[in-house]
A and B are shown apart, each in its own frame.
Chain A
């Protein structure tokens, strides 16, 4: 079946270091979404990417959608303690119109 693999599962960084999480799909996606879930909280939408090769930035966060629309990445520059949480990607393969969720990358930031 359709799968979205997300790596790494966990990442521990010092404050100020960069962080990247990757999503890889077994099928071509029509779009991909990224969410952040703080510890004990609920997922909050960050962004949606639709176009092949698309790059979007939100302050220190950079989101990329691969040329083949099968992979995506989220890069955080100079992490802060407020970046702590789990980052999920969710892809839409377009055929059954349901989102397929990655398992998330949990980010811990040492002050």
Chain B
């Protein structure tokens, strides 16, 4: 039962354009969402997060949007740079006991120079 879904396995965009990475979740109890970036041969690194009490969080070129009614979140990268090419994981958790992180399967972003 995949509670966090990243339905597109890959995305390719031109340098300087916007990258939009999508993520859907099924568990309405999730109240905290995160994005991680992973380069080959390295562990994931935390990128940005958002609490369910917000619908937008921005950090430099990265913005995460949350639509609770649609159980959907997205990561926008503007402008995209070749160094952004990596695998991006969406993750979710819920407050309280056993609030482990549940990850999606990841999406591979390629930014073309």
Chain A bound to chain B:
no
Residues of chain B touching chain A, judged by Cβ–Cβ distance below 8 Å, are: none
